[in-house]
Structure 1
Amino acid sequence: MLRTILFAVLLGIFTHAEAAPSADAAIALSTPTGQLHGALLLPAASGPVPAVLIVAGSGPTDRNGNNTLAPGANNSLMLLAQALSQAGFATLRYDKRGVAASAAAGPSEAALRFDTYVDDAAAWLRLLRADPRFSSVAVIGHSEGSLIGMLAARQTKAAAFVSIAGPAQGAADVLRQQLAPQLPAELAGDNERILRALERGETDNAVPAPLAALYRPSVQPYMISWFKYVPTRELSTLAAPALIVQGDTDIQVGVAQAQALQQASPAATLLVVPGMNHVLKTVPAQMPQQLASYSDPALPLAPGLSPAIAAFLHQHAK
């Protein structure tokens, strides 16, 4: 049976009030290709406090959860960091290499690998662990950051892991499901051939023109490095306590994905937040409201989200 934390119950679990958090402090991580930049938010507390690394999602998504492809900001991850700081946690969120303030550290497309993102997250975790201000280190990963976060958490033996809106399927299967209904039979066959080659760790040099933008030669090595990881399989080997969080009005990742993650790791706790969408706001499933929420920083986090995460982290990341 699923160990599901009900949203209504959690509204009253963690209500301990803290003083307002301090302002963001700039923090940087040196890498062989340049510095990565982030923001450290400290709680108003004395003595060592637990620290949490927040890993953003895919594409050009910055430390605050904002994607440059959207017309405005939603600030979802910044709001989460502030809420956790008020609950007594230090939080570190960062711009991935190639994004925002870390743009200069981005390698060429042909040189980029998914493992690079994992290694970066693990390096941030080690930086936090070496800081005497922090008593423990946990990881929160949002969307694609869920997979990055769970791999980095395993690599560094983090105290706890939280997946928010994380897919359960491997990226190759996601592409299969998204593309197959849209492609004519011949191209669907080409798409499957290419995906199978990439899953075997092989490049494909016979990509037809209509698929060239997706499977261009410079991006295939990245896809090979990405496809080898299946979130359900990786989560099943994670020793750290895990919380799986999913909103039921998320138009990008469905509740079934969260349930599949929990089934792969029965010791994990599943939290389904009614009305929460992919950017962690309370939004109905209708497309106009969904799209507007991606660019509305005034919308608060879904009620109960941060208290539930804080309660879990206080239990496992002291």
Structure 2
Amino acid sequence: MRATHEATTACRGMLALLIIAGGAWVEPVFAANQDASAQSAMHTQAAYEVEQMSFPGGMSGVVLAGTLTRPISSGPTPAVVLIAGSGKTDRDESAYGHKPFLVLADALTRAGYAVLRYDKRGVGQSTGNGRAATTLDFKTDAEAAVHYLGGRTDIDKTRIAVVGHSEGGTIAALMSGDPSPPAAAVSLAGMIAPFAEQIVTQEILTGRDAGADEAYDREVRAYYAKVEAAARVDDDPQRFARMQAISAAWNSEFSKDAADRNAAAESLLAMPKFLASRWFQTYLKLDVPKAIEQGEIPVLFLNGSTDHQVAAGPNLTLARLALGRETPLRHTQRLPGLNHLFQQSASGSGEDYAKNTPTPSPLAIGAVIQFLNLALTKQ
């Protein structure tokens, strides 16, 4: 069934918020949902400590504000840093009435882990210019969060893990190969496959959700070949001019009454500023598999089988190849019937995001806790 323009817009808004809107800086969209009110009461019922705090970010002048939840304990505890997806994302990764990181932090803290989640640069109470930041800049912020926890006497600095979602999952994967990595890393729907390939898959799958046909698929592939070439131009004004021309041509391909007009109008190909952004250019150059190959720490790559934004197949395949040999401490896992937000969704369509609860699924939360319990156990 063809999606309405409003539903398509909501789907694409979520796509941009959680996956690839670093350059577009898309505002979160909230909907009336019982999930949010239920989640907001969690801390008041929690049998753990809650601390509102701030710490230096990964760039001079950046101060990140966050929430640290910590089990009531007499000694240093293992800890987890949560790394949010792209866009203007707060510490709870709030969107469509859901607060996935609040839910995840609550579950992890009850499982015995201190958990730090924070507003991204320029969001909420955090300072800095998030609009100008790239994935690698946000990676330095995540590294700063790990460093901050490592300096606290109530945290076991030898057992600090990172858990990232979407772009945050890509960052977690990159951090796993750092010279001074965290103790463990979990990538939740992180983009491991080359961005130039994955963005095409993403556009096609979300386009089909909006009712697009095979002709649309071919157009997407043809245009992204032009986008990839133009994105590699280092001169900012020249790169923007080329993206404007590509976007203008794309928009002219679909008349007002064309069958694929709705999908085309909401396509990222219609966003020249985003396509020309430093964020986009940087993401094209990332070599995530190489970072994974260089790493030795425990790492889990977790994807939902119905994810239409970061498709499980190509990303888990590349992660497995980079790992070389899977072990209980370095492996991939595909969760059946879960979408990009790790909700139960048979269709995987973005239309389900605002409707489905719980977010994330207990299946996903359980997989993360099981892995961390193994990875962070004292030998």
Match of 2:107 among 70, 83, 108: 83
**Which residues of 2 match residues 197-236 of structure 1 at below 5 A?**
197-199=230-232, 203=236, 204-205=238-239, 206-207=241-242, 208-209=244-245, 211=247, 214-216=271-273, 219-236=276-293
Match of 1:147 among 170, 173, 182: 170
Q: What is the match of residue 6 of structure 2?
A: none
For 2:200 and 2:353, locate their aligned partners in 1 and report how far apart those are by CA, in whole Å: 28
Going from structure 1 to structure 2, the CA distance change for 1:184 and 1:249 (only over 3 Å counts) comes to closer
One-letter code aligned to 2:279: Y
Going from structure 1 to structure 2, the CA distance change for 1:221 and 1:249 (only over 3 Å counts) comes to closer
For 1:175 and 1:251, locate their aligned partners in 2 and report how far apart those are by CA, in whole Å: 11
**Which residues of 2 match residues 238-253 of structure 1 at below 5 A?**
238-253=295-310
With 266-275 and 211-220 compared, the bigger mean Cα shift is at: 211-220
**Which residues of 2 match residues 237-316 of structure 1 at below 5 A?**
237-256=294-313, 257-265=315-323, 266-267=325-326, 268-285=330-347, 287=349, 291-294=351-354, 299=358, 301-316=360-375
For 2:194 and 2:321, locate their aligned partners in 1 and report how far apart those are by CA, in whole Å: 16
For 2:199 and 2:290, locate their aligned partners in 1 and report how far apart those are by CA, in whole Å: 18
Q: What is the match of residue 26 of structure 1?
A: 52
Going from structure 1 to structure 2, the CA distance change for 1:216 and 1:130 (only over 3 Å counts) comes to same
**Which residues of 2 match residues 82-101 of structure 1 at below 5 A?**
82-101=106-125
Deviations 1:21-52 (A, max 9, x none): 42532121224233211111112333111100
SS of equivalent to 2:362: coil
Q: What is the match of residue 16 of structure 2?
A: none
Q: What is the match of residue 262 of structure 2?
A: none
Question: Where do 5+ consecutive residues of structure 1 fail to align?
Answer: 1-18
Please state how far the C-alpha of 1:259 moved relative to its aligned partner. Answer: 3.1
Going from structure 1 to structure 2, the CA distance change for 1:33 and 1:244 (only over 3 Å counts) comes to same
For 1:314 and 1:258, locate their aligned partners in 2 and report how far apart those are by CA, in whole Å: 22
Q: CA RMSD in A?
A: 3.0
Deviations 1:235-292 (A, max 9, x none): 22222111111112223222202233122213321222222222122233264xx534
Deviations 1:110-166 (A, max 9, x none): x43332111111111111111121221111111111111223344332111111111
With 74-83 and 303-312 compared, the bigger mean Cα shift is at: 303-312
The normalised TM-score by structure 1 is 0.79
One-letter code aligned to 2:175: A
Question: Where do 5+ consecutive residues of structure 2 fail to align?
Answer: 1-44, 205-214, 249-269
**Which residues of 2 match residues 121-160 of structure 1 at below 5 A?**
121-135=142-156, 136-155=159-178, 156-160=180-184
For 1:216 and 1:75, locate their aligned partners in 2 and report how far apart those are by CA, in whole Å: 29
**Structure 2 residue 64 is the aligned partner of structure 1 residue 36:** yes
SS of equivalent to 1:163: strand
One-letter code aligned to 1:293: Y
SS of equivalent to 1:53: strand
Going from structure 1 to structure 2, the CA distance change for 1:88 and 1:244 (only over 3 Å counts) comes to same
One-letter code aligned to 2:305: D
Instruction: Tell me if structure 1 keeps the 8 A contact 2:300–2:331.
Output: yes
Q: Which has the higher helix share?
A: 2
With 138-147 and 36-45 compared, the bigger mean Cα shift is at: 36-45
Q: What is the match of residue 85 of structure 2?
A: 57
Instruction: Tell me if structure 2 keeps the 8 A contact 1:142–1:163.
Output: yes
Instruction: Tell me if structure 1 keeps the 8 A contact 2:98–2:359.
Output: no
One-letter code aligned to 1:291: E
One-letter code aligned to 1:278: H
For 2:133 and 2:362, locate their aligned partners in 1 and report how far apart those are by CA, in whole Å: 37
SS of equivalent to 1:123: helix
Instruction: Tell me if structure 2 keeps the 8 A contact 1:21–1:85.
Output: no
- The total of aligned residue pairs comes to 289
The normalised TM-score by structure 2 is 0.67
**Structure 2 residue 185 is the aligned partner of structure 1 residue 161:** yes
Deviations 1:164-199 (A, max 9, x none): 1112223233334456964997x9767534413534
For 1:308 and 1:217, locate their aligned partners in 2 and report how far apart those are by CA, in whole Å: 34
